Structures are given as C-alpha cells and as structure tokens.
Structure 1
Amino acid sequence: MKTYDEMYDLIIKTATEDDRIRAATMEGSAVTPGAVRDGFSDFDITFFVSDIREFTADKNYMRKFGDILIMQTPDDWYMEPYDYNGKKRFAYLTQYKDGNRIDLTFIDVSEIGKQTDFNEPRTILINKDGFTELKEITSGDIFFIQKPSEFEFYNTVNEFRWVSNYATKGLCRHQFYYAKYSMEHLMMNMFMKMINWKVGIDNDFKVTTGSFSKYLRKYLTEDEMKRFEGIFAGGAYEDMWDKVFLMYDYFEDLSIYVADKLGFSLDLEESSNVREFMKKRYADNCEK
C-alpha cells in the first residue's frame, strides 16, 4: 500500500507534469480543522483543467494512481446522464485495492469564476496561472452545528412525535421494514438533530460531529454514548418495541435540555399523550 505521503506526492507529480492541469486543490478531512486523518481517510482533490472533455472521455485515467477496486462517477447517473460533450464538473470516486481512495473532481477552467463562492476548507496545491479566484480557506466554521430557530425546534419535536406513531403502527401490524424504516430513518433523523443541538449548546456551537455524526463519541460522556447505542433495535419485534420507547424517552430528555438552554417553549403534555397512545397500542396488540 502506498503511504499517505507517497500518494500525496504522486498526486502532486501528476498535476505538475500534465500541462492540461492548470491548478490543483485539496479539500475534505485532510484540510478540515479537527477532522480525523488515518488509514481510512480519503484524498479529496480538484483538478482545474484546460479542457475537461479530455478527462471525462478517458475512463482509464484513474488507473495512474493504482489498481482500482471499484470506481463511481456520481455525475453520470441513470436518472441524469452526463453530457460528455459539455464542460460541467465531473468526479471520479475511486477506491484502490491497496486501501487508498481518491475522490478526484475535474473542473474546466472556463468555470473558474464560480470558485469565488467556494467556502469550505481548502488548500491550494498548484496554481500555474495564478488564478485569483482560488482562495486558501483554513476555517471549518461552515461545518459547525447550527443553532436552531424556535420554529425549527418545534417542527423537529412535532415530527418526531408524529412519526413515532408510524413505528408503533408498523409494529402492531408486523410490517417489519415499515417499522424499521420509521424508527431508523424517520424518527432517527429528528433524534440526531436534537442530540447534535445538545452537543452544539455544550460547545458554544463551535464544533462539528462530522458527516452522519461520525465524531459524536468525542462530545458525549461514556454514559451518554451507552444510552445512545442502546436505542438501536435488533430484528425481534419485542426488542423493537422496547427500543422505540427508549428512543422516545431519550429524545424527550434531549428536547427538554435544548429548550431550557435556548429559552424555547415545549409542550410536554402532548409528549405524554403521544407516549400513552403508543403504550395503549402495545398493550392492545402485544401484551397477553
């Protein structure tokens, strides 16, 4: 396996020696303050090129960096095929057999003006033509957890309670995937917003838990992390019933905390009524 430095040097060498590549930048975890960088980290690279069509037409281009395990081209999707005669941005997401991964985006230099709006952490690797539109960005503020408005908080609480009834309905009917989806997507999406707001409050809204909250463990106590891990259900219906109530109660505790810290109102009577409705469904359909 190429080391991080070896792959980095190969990327720089490739961009330097190819006259078609006029500039190169690096984004992602490698340049984001506080992000984890280890053997699983990706190289997020952008090449600004004189004619993007020369690169989109060359499906073997990414082989120059190693033996490909699997590659994806998200800009060329069956629902929205890429126009290979055009000059829109194009990305190759490539996992190599040796463990390295490069997400390489190509941007035609005719589109360089749009880079003035770029606001994510980025370092300039090469700038052969001195493009002033390319700026070094060292702050990761854009990824920080954002403080909610009271209306967003209300909608999140309301949605969580509402979709909780989808989960119990699915469990009563033994509609396995419907119930699972309701718990692990519909309810969980709202739950993750609330627990992230709690993290944001505790850290003055100057941190990020990363994409899909992958750094959440950094900001929870050991007991909090155990409680969080404990709300995920297995495949047995009884376990799913148990976990839907554990999730509901944890969400309420979090919403009380967030509401108190941010000065938001919270209807706990409605929460209690919804929970009692869920309990009645369980009693009518599952208790002997």
Structure 2
Amino acid sequence: MRTESEMLDLILQTAKVIQADAVALSGSRTNPNAPKDEFQDYDVVYIVDDLAALVTDLAWLEAFGKRIIEQHNILDHRRLYLMLFEDGNRIDLTLCPKEHIKEWVDSEADFTVLDDPQGLFQPYTPSSKRYWTKPASADDFAKSCNEFWWVSAYVVKGIQRQQFVYAVDHLYGICQKELLKLLAWQVAADRGVIDVGKNYKYLFEYLPAEKEEEFATLLDFSNKESLIQSLLSTQQFFHKEAQVFSLKTGFPYDKETAEKMIQYTKEKLNLRK
C-alpha cells in the first residue's frame, strides 16, 4: 500500500500534469483528532480552468494506478471521481471550475490547501463546524420529539404491511437518527458545541461505553421479530433519554404523547401490554 507521502506527491504531480490552478485536501485527513488507519480516503479537489477538456478525456486518471472499482458523479458544477485502487488506497477526487470554488468550499467541513500559487483559496476560511452539534433550544427538542414519535407510526405501518425495507428505512433513517441527535444534545448541554463527525461517527467518544452498546443492540433488522424488538427498544431508549434531557435543560417534554405512541405501537403490532 502506498504511503501517505507517496499519495500526496502523486496527487500534486498529477495536478501539475493537468494544469490545475489549485489543490486542496479535505475530509478526515485534515482532522488531527480523526483516527488514523488504512481506510482514510484522500478527499481532493483540483480547481481547474477547463473542466470540459478534462472530463472529455479521462486518460490522466490512469496516473493514480489500477482501480478495483470507481464511480463518476456530477455535483452541481463539479465532477466527482471516486476511485478504490488495487493497493487499498482510495481517492475521492473533485474537479471544480475556478469560478465555482465557493460551491466546493461550502460543501466541506474543513480543508487544507496543498498548492495555490494564485491565492484562489485566500478569500475562504476553512470551517470545521459543518458536523458540529450545538446545544439545542426548547423548540429544537420539541420538533425532534414530535418527529421521532410521528415517524414511529410509519415503522409500525411498514411492519404490519410486511414492507420491511420501508419500515427499516424509517426506523434507522429517521427515528434512530433522532435518537443520535438527542444523545449529541445531551453531550452538548454539558460541554457546549461538539464535533460529532459525519453520521455521528465520533459521538460515542463522548459517552459511556454502555450507551454505544445499548445503541448497537437496536441495529438488528434481520427478521420481523428483530425489527419489532428494535422499534420497541428504540422507543424506550428515546423516551428515557428525552426525560433525562428535559430534566437537565428544563425544556418541556410531552411524556403523555410518548406513552400513547408506545401503547399504540404495542396495540397495532398485537403485542401484550
């Protein structure tokens, strides 16, 4: 596997070949607190003058090495090339037209400039706050609770209709994300603004190990019975943490509605009271 030094040299050399006006690195490799391992991507942007010429003939990508798999995507005015190489390295490479540099900057949490002879990045200050969680307001908390309990009814509907993909999508994609948000607010209430990372990947570094273990037990969606248990446990977990958060902050929590939704879930799923 090529080293970080070798990869960065290659990235800069290729930038010269295609005459990129500036090069920057973003993602976890710019975060000194991020875990260092072989799975860290190289999130790179080339700021370019002639995007059309570069995307018409992509032969220059061969310089990075043999690829196992890749994706080519369009993001507004940018082009994104995701490449996993045979040696295990991965580059997520963005080509961004010079006139749309702010579009790329606004899409990133933080970045480090690797080469910028024209000073194109000078007007922009990196901000690592994109994935930061700040203390919640009473309104934030109320909306989150309402969203959690409202969407839990969709999960019940999906289970009873045997539409398990639909049910899991709402349970994990919305309800459990609201639970993660609530846990992040718990920490932020004590510490102030915190960096939880993309998809809450750093959240459990702030919490006792048993919280992560409890959340992990919610992630078994392998059959109907497991899905039902996940929903019930997710509801109980959220209900418990919401009450703790309410006591900590003084924000009102609609406990009556929560308990009615728990009862609704049990009744509609034909469970014993």
For 2:14, the equivalent position in structure 1 comes to 14
Larger radius of gyration: 1
The answer as to whether partners of 1:49 and 1:106 remain within 8 angstroms in 2 is yes
For 2:98, the equivalent position in structure 1 comes to 109
Equivalences for 1:1-288 in 2 at 5 Å? 1-15=1-15, 17-18=16-17, 20-75=19-74, 88-112=77-101, 120-131=109-120, 133=122, 135=124, 137=126, 140-205=128-193, 207-282=194-269, 285-286=270-271
Q: TM-score with structure 1 length normalisation?
A: 0.83
Quickly say closer, same or farther: Cα 1:66–1:232, change in 2 above 3 A.
Answer: same
The answer as to whether partners of 1:115 and 1:133 remain within 8 angstroms in 2 is no
* Whole-angstrom distance in 2 between the partners of 1:271 and 1:190: 14
Letter in 2 for 1:101: R
Letter in 2 for 1:176: F
- Structure 1 residue 273, shift from structure 2 partner: 1.7
- Structure 1 residue 43, shift from structure 2 partner: 0.7
Deviations 1:191-223 (A, max 9, x none): 222122223224322x22211122233122121
Q: Look up the SS of the partner of 2:115 in the other structure.
A: strand
The answer as to whether partners of 1:23 and 1:48 remain within 8 angstroms in 2 is yes
- Structure 1 residue 99, shift from structure 2 partner: 0.9
Aligned-residue identity in percent: 29
Quickly say closer, same or farther: Cα 1:20–1:270, change in 2 above 3 A.
Answer: same
* Whole-angstrom distance in 2 between the partners of 1:19 and 1:190: 44
The answer as to whether partners of 1:26 and 1:43 remain within 8 angstroms in 2 is yes
CA RMSD of aligned residues (A): 2.6
Structure 1 unmatched ranges of 5 or more? 77-81, 83-87
Q: Look up the SS of the partner of 1:21 in the other structure.
A: coil
Q: Look up the SS of the partner of 2:195 in the other structure.
A: coil
- Structure 1 residue 112, shift from structure 2 partner: 4.7
* Whole-angstrom distance in 2 between the partners of 1:224 and 1:113: 39
Deviations 1:31-81 (A, max 9, x none): 1242223210011111122322221112232221110112212207xxxxx
The answer as to whether partners of 1:115 and 1:134 remain within 8 angstroms in 2 is no
Q: TM-score with structure 2 length normalisation?
A: 0.87
Quickly say closer, same or farther: Cα 1:286–1:175, change in 2 above 3 A.
Answer: farther
Q: Look up the SS of the partner of 2:160 in the other structure.
A: helix
* Whole-angstrom distance in 2 between the partners of 1:93 and 1:187: 30
- Structure 1 residue 266, shift from structure 2 partner: 0.8
Letter in 2 for 1:229: A
Quickly say closer, same or farther: Cα 1:280–1:43, change in 2 above 3 A.
Answer: same
Q: Which has the larger helix fraction?
A: 2
- Structure 1 residue 248, shift from structure 2 partner: 0.4
Would you say how many aligned residue pairs link Structure 1 and Structure 2? 272
